[in-house]
Amino acid sequence: MSELQANLLLDVSGTGPLHGRLAAELRRAIRDGRLPPGSLLPPSRVLAAELGCSRWVVTEAFAQLATAGYTEGRVGSGTRIRAAGAVGADGRAGADGPVGRPAGPGRRTAARVIDMAPGLPDLRSFPLARWAAAIRAAASALSAADLGHPDPAGHHALREVVGEYLARVRGADPRLGSVTICARATDGLTRICLALRASGCQVLAVENPCWHRVREVAASAGLRVVPVSVDEQGIVADRLRDAGAGAVVVTPAHQFPSGVVLSATRRAALLAWARESGGLIIEDDYDAEFRYDRRPVGTMQGTDPAHVVLLGSVSKTLSPAVGIGWLVAPRTWADTVRRLAGLHLVLRLPAGAGAASVRAAALRRGVRVANLDTYRAEPAPDEPGLVLGYGNLPDQDIGPAVRILAGLL
């Protein structure tokens, strides 16, 4: 546990924006010695959870401290309070600026990192007040039925709103029953990849280059990934016939990372491939709302709803922390992906295998699972099994956990 989490009580009461109050309280803690030089700040998500606020509030407060020269960050070691001398007695950065003292013989200057990595919108512009008001309004209008078990497809009102938006703004064809609400586009891609694998599909084609999570999600679902090159017209659709793929993931409106728009000729070729081969086109509507040099283009799903699955989210228009995405699929696929939603799965073990011993061995190797017998009225030694929860499992832990369990079994 970091020093801030263990020893410091933060008072963020008062008026004004919460991120400003948090930054001011952290500055006071630095000036009065409660946060000594070299002490480590907690991860933003941890502090946000402790304060009961959004992660943006914490990251914005941390950014203010870094800009003013109070903190320094190094990759792999977190954010720390700067050493004495970098911050003046009045709590402001010294005369040498926010990057600290000038470098001399044997001295290294710790510079603030300017984060230009892709994947995030301008979180400083998030409409916090309007978002909070919308949540209050929606919560006050909840019925008793809304508090019961949720529809696997998502709340009907949200599905209707998303469907209307996609039809009006993106030219999609969200027919009745085709819209499924999920947690971000990556969640939707995970579901459709699992559905493909369950249907017998073994190979998924992807654009090359593409967002790395596409390859990772497909591989985690048990699919073999085949890269298909991208040129100035988008994915080279003619090469799909030789790839042996049962499905392909494309970003027609704004290819990542090249930014090219899939040409009309390539769109036609891609749809022809799907119709002739029975393949599935997974259309990631990545960055479709952001255009600086061209008119908007409609979705491929709107052209052929029977052969295209449309993925999208509010991660770029609002924030990835909101956790709202959607999947528009042909009805046969929509039913399958809804059955795959959940927070755990049951792993059946071979007859004669000891679930208790497997669970104990896994725990010794750092993986906690549950014995299926825990949830039975009486143990069933002839039907051993484990219950694997993944609702709170970081993506990067999935691979190591699977390898450990596979090794034990």
The reply to whether the predicted model has a pTM over 0.85 is no
Q: What is the mean pLDDT of residues 243-257?
A: 93
Same domain flag for 221 and 317:
yes
Q: What is the CATH number of the domain that holds 86?
A: 1.10.10.10
pLDDT at position 352: 81
Same domain flag for 320 and 370:
no
Q: Assess if residue 142 is contained within a domain.
A: no
Q: Of the residues 339, 355, 371, which one is the last residue of a structural domain?
A: 339
Peptide bond into 127 cis (omega under 30): no
Q: Assess if residue 122 is contained within a domain.
A: no
pLDDT band at 84 (very low <50, low <70, confident <90, very high): low
Q: Assess if residue 67 is contained within a domain.
A: yes
Check whether 96 has a pLDDT greater than 60: no
Q: What is the mean pLDDT of residues 333-360?
A: 85
For residue range 48-64, list pLDDT tens digits in order.
888 888 888 888 888 88
d(CA 247, CA 198) in angstroms, rounded, equals 13
Same domain flag for 235 and 262:
yes
For residue range 27-41, list pLDDT tens digits in order.
888 888 888 888 888
pLDDT band at 74 (very low <50, low <70, confident <90, very high): low
Same domain flag for 203 and 73:
no
Q: Assess if residue 363 is contained within a domain.
A: yes
Task: Find the domain containing 77 and state its range.
Answer: 3-95
Phi, psi torsion values for 389, nearest 5 degrees:
-85, 140
| DSSP letter assigned to residue 367 | -
d(CA 249, CA 186) in angstroms, rounded, equals 12
Same domain flag for 385 and 271:
no
Residue 308, CB-side half-sphere exposure with 13 Å CA sphere = 25
For residue range 259-301, list pLDDT tens digits in order.
899 999 999 999 999 999 999 999 999 877 776 666 778 999 9
Tell the burial category of 184 from Cβ atoms under 10 Å away from its Cβ (0-12, 13-18, 19+).
buried
pLDDT band at 8 (very low <50, low <70, confident <90, very high): low
Same domain flag for 373 and 318:
no
Same domain flag for 353 and 290:
no
d(CA 199, CA 21) in angstroms, rounded, equals 53
Domain count, the chain: 3
Check whether 86 has a pLDDT greater than 80: no
Q: Of the residues 339, 371, 396, which one is the last residue of a structural domain?
A: 339
Tell the burial category of 333 from Cβ atoms under 10 Å away from its Cβ (0-12, 13-18, 19+).
buried
Two structure tokens written together for 124: 């400083």
Same domain flag for 330 and 401:
no
Q: Assess if residue 332 is contained within a domain.
A: yes
Check whether 344 has a pLDDT greater than 80: no
Give DSSP secondary structure letters for 87-156. Answer: B-TTSSB-TT-TT-SPP-TT----PPP----SS---GGG--HHHHHHHHHHHHHT--TGGGSSPPTT--H
Q: Assess if residue 171 is contained within a domain.
A: yes
Same domain flag for 195 and 256:
yes
Same domain flag for 350 and 322:
no
For residue range 355-400, list pLDDT tens digits in order.
999 999 999 999 999 999 998 888 888 899 999 987 777 767 888 8
pLDDT at position 110: 52
Kindly give the pairing relationship between strand 308-313 and strand 325-328: antiparallel
For residue range 120-148, list pLDDT tens digits in order.
888 888 888 999 999 999 999 999 888 88
Tell me how far apart the 2 most distant CA atoms of the chain are, in Å: 74
Q: What is the mean pLDDT of residues 317-335?
A: 90
Q: Assess if residue 314 is contained within a domain.
A: yes
Q: Assess if residue 361 is contained within a domain.
A: yes
Same domain flag for 268 and 334:
yes
pLDDT at position 339: 79
Q: Of the residues 79, 95, 111, which one is the last residue of a structural domain?
A: 95
d(CA 197, CA 179) in angstroms, rounded, equals 21
Kindly give the pairing relationship between strand 344-348 and strand 325-328: unpaired
Q: Are 308 and 274 in contact (CB under 8 A)?
A: yes
pLDDT at position 384: 92
Same domain flag for 170 and 48:
no
Four-point Cα dihedral 296, 307, 217, 202, nearest 10 = -150
Q: What is the CATH number of the domain that holds 220?
A: 3.40.640.10
Chain-wide mean pLDDT for the chain? 84
